[in-house]
Amino acid sequence: EIVLTQSPGTLSLSPGERATLSCRASQSLSIYLAWYQQKPGQAPRLLIYEASSRAPGIPARFSGSGSGTDFTLTISSLEPEDSAVYYCQQRISWPQAFGQGTKVEIK
Amino acid sequence: EVQLVESGGGLVQPGGSLKLSCAASGFTFSDSSMHWVRRTSGKGLEWIARVKSKAHNYATDYPASVRGRFTISRDDSKNTAYLQMNSLTTEDTAVYYCIKGWAGCGGDCYDYWGQGILVTVSS
């Protein structure tokens, strides 16, 4: 089974700053990695699919990059509403798996 | 508006069974793969079942942790997906989410999630 490791566990930044979240896979995923955002009390929301494609309706400040085993989610300029837990998910092999999440806190 | 509404959760004793339902609306249910994912305090998010559309012969998949105990199914005439859970253990305690697979990534990433329903396995 593929294991996804996200880092850091928590990121504490101020509005307007750049956030860089990492997801590392135990095996190559090619580009088959997605990112989700989950706010307290809400269901997760798809942000990025196929490593770098933004899902419909997602603001341009969210971008994804990477391939193989190393992936990055970047939030170019943090907004207060970006406070959430972010998960990566692989779909190249079964069972599909999620990372453990990175919590982004806005100071 | 897409809606996924889970029901059937609650408290069940170890070894017991529970059947979750997911009522879907706002999209062509019969064309979509449907999944169940759960969130636990210990393991985070864990994908636990998928059923593909009729076009893919309603194929199902499960991880080893639930295979043989959980069964996913769907009734396209009712726009409803189900998760039958048997031989439950305390490790199955979680919030269970019904999820729509998105065609943009072959049905294996998720564009709509239900609000989740709590299943507690305890004596």
Q: What is the mean pLDDT of residues B54-73?
A: 96
CA A33 to CA A25: how far, in whole Å?
A: 10
* Contact A30/B at CB under 8 A: no
Question: How far is residue B78 from each of residues A18, B3, B53, measured CA to CA in Å?
Answer: 46, 14, 14
Q: Which of A36, A55, A91 sits opposite B108 (nearest CB)?
A: A91
Please state the rounded mean pLDDT for residues B69-88. Answer: 98
pLDDT value of residue B44:
85
Q: Rounded mean pLDDT of chain B? A: 95
User: Which of A40, A42, A102 is CA-nearest to residue A72?
Assistant: A102
Query: Residue B107's pLDDT band (boundaries 50, 70, 90)?
Result: confident
Instruction: Kindly report, residue by residue over A19-46, the tens digit of the pLDDT.
Output: 999 999 999 999 999 999 999 888 889 9
- Chain B nearest-CA residue for A91: B108
Q: How far is CA A14 from the centre of its chain?
A: 19
The dihedral of CA B66, A4, B35, B82: what is its sign?
positive
